[in-house]
Amino acid sequence: MRIIAGKAGRTAIKVPGAVARPTTDFVRQAIFSILADSIDGAKVLDLFAGSGAIGLEALSRGAASCTFVDEHRQATAVISENLKKARLDNGNVVRAEVTSFLKRDTALYDLIFADPPYFKQYGDPDHVRTLLESEHLPQRLSDDGWLIAEISASQPTPTSPAWTLLDRREYGGCAILLFSKSASPST
């Protein structure tokens, strides 16, 4: 695993073992090609951060800041280590369950990444659907911001009236979903 491009490009990063399924270099490159210039100066939120690979890539490519959120102690320790190794000092690591973090956070972000554990079979939590249905997530995204979520390619795209799907792209076994906030109804 490595940071692909930017000021920390080619820096090897550590992965926190069994608690993370890191996004591959190929998929990260595709995501950042789609986002292009929107990274520069962006405030980023990396939910279910795992190794921090997505947020680290954003910081390396010019994001102003990144808040990394993961509930696992092993993951947050690895993210802190990866930030230090890459010499990226504008990251904030938070150990918290994502839903409770969103309830108490008051910051506004330009880009929100969500790469939760995949929904694989009946009974597994569908974290992306839960996020889309959360009343708190839209409040954390700037009006012209984007939510980028990763799900299994075999999973149907979750929907919610609060979000507009802009694009779905599949890469091997994963699908990348790009959402914007839906326009509020006129009153």
CATH number at residue 35: 3.40.50.150
- Which residues have CB under 8 Å from 149's CB, separation 6+? 113, 114, 115, 128, 131, 176, 177, 179
Within a domain: 13: no
Within a domain: 3: no
Q: Which domain holds residue 118?
A: 24-181
Within a domain: 84: yes
Within a domain: 5: no
Surface-to-core class of residue 168, CB atoms within 10 Å of its CB (0-12 exposed, 13-18 middle, 19+ buried):
middle
Domain count, the chain: 1
Q: What is the CA radius of gyration of the chain?
A: 15
Within a domain: 6: no
Q: Where are the alpha helices (DSSP H) in 18-110?
A: 25-35, 53-60, 73-86, 98-104
- Measure the CA–CA gap between 148 and 130, rounded to whole angstroms: 14
Within a domain: 2: no
What does pTM read for this prediction?
0.93
Within a domain: 187: no
Within a domain: 166: yes
> Per residue of the chain (187 residues), what is the pLDDT tens digit?
899 999 999 999 998 876 666 788 899 999 999 998 899 999 999 999 999 999 999 999 999 999 999 999 999 999 999 999 999 999 999 999 999 999 999 999 999 999 987 766 566 678 899 999 999 999 999 999 999 999 999 989 999 999 999 999 999 999 999 999 997 654 4
How far, in Å, are 36, 119, 152, 160, 166 from residue 21 at the CA level?
24, 13, 12, 26, 25
